[in-house]
Amino acid sequence: MSNSNVPMPPPRPGPPRIRTLYFAFGSNLHLQQMAERCPNSKYIGRATLPHFRWMINQRGYANVVRAEGYWVEGLIFEIDVEDERRLDKSEGVAKQCYVDRDQNVIAPCYRKTYETMIVHRAPSALLRRPVPWIVAKGGPRKVKDEALKQGYSLREHHQSKKEHVLVYWSPDFTRDAHPKREYIKRINNGVRDASVLGMCPDYVENMIRPFIPPDGQATTGTHVYPVKKEKIVSPAISRLPRDEGGAIRIQQSDFQDYQVRERSQGLPRLPNRPQTSRLTRSRSLANRDPYRSRIGKIFEYFST
């Protein structure tokens, strides 16, 4: 007897996919970076973490520290177990870093905690949208513009209090410091996306800008950031003859004039350059005191 007409039992449902709310306040505000690190993440909205302060710690990365009367603004994402594992790796939960090298004190780069915060749910056009989808559409600004054209409302949903929200922060690295150079661009990318999604401009100006300068600027607020030092030109070099392009031009007569003064006034004699190989000559010139070199003597001559 054939069993072809017997209906098959429905497939057993797999284990429920556990999803966690994650609060981003640093470089993960940039949706493109968030999509790369957590490809299964979904955007929920923006959030406010009360009684914490945003800062750059001595490692050169963003951190939050407990501070009464302050708050931290960021974005809320919904992530699964796989995304959380990737975040643990990228945030350095298992990585040990030096807190104090002199006393050989080490601690994890970041620790995982679960905090209570105020969540502002995103408009319907963005709520629970996969982050890679938002990035593929051209970013949050283009998604919002397209939603307006189609008649969608961009009004946020009512705010609510959420508990047990995942936050990566370090209670060990809490000293204010300068950011790493490559990190400045990443934070600015995140600030641009977060500003489109509703981050308050006053918060950016008062809490982030004292540590992170805007694009194209080297200093901001109360912190001075390391910039490339300008080349200092000594007065002797500035008096050397130059051509129309600004290059220094020293004629053979300048050497001869110095040799005349050398004989008449007892100046230090200029040694002739030895006939050595190119490699040996470059090493000797690199290790030679510039004030004892031939060109250094000419600079001294023109400075008198």
The rounded average pLDDT for each run of 10 residues, N- to C-terminus, in the chain (304 residues) is: 54 64 97 96 97 96 96 97 95 84 78 96 94 96 93 87 95 94 96 96 96 71 40 48 57 56 56 48 48 53 56
Residue 273: per-residue pLDDT: 46
The residue ranges of every structural domain in the chain are: 19-224, 235-303
Topology (CATH level 3) of domain 19-224:
Hypothetical upf0131 protein ytfp (3.10.490)
> What gap in Å lies between CA 212 and CA 204, rounded to an integer?
10
**Tokens representing 20?**
């966690």
Q: Is 91 a catalytic residue?
A: yes
Decide: 65 and 171 in contact? Cβ < 8 Å.
yes
28 CB-contact burial (10 Å; exposed 0-12 / middle 13-18 / buried 19+): buried
- Residue ranges of the binding site for substrate: 22-27
β-bridge pairing 96-100 and 159-169: unpaired
Rounded to an integer, what distance in angstroms lies between the CA atom of residue 111 and that of residue 270?
A: 64
| Given the residues 73, 91, 146, 205, the one annotated as active site | 91
The answer to whether the CB of 117 falls within 8 A of the CB of 165 is yes
pTM exceeds 0.85 for this model: no
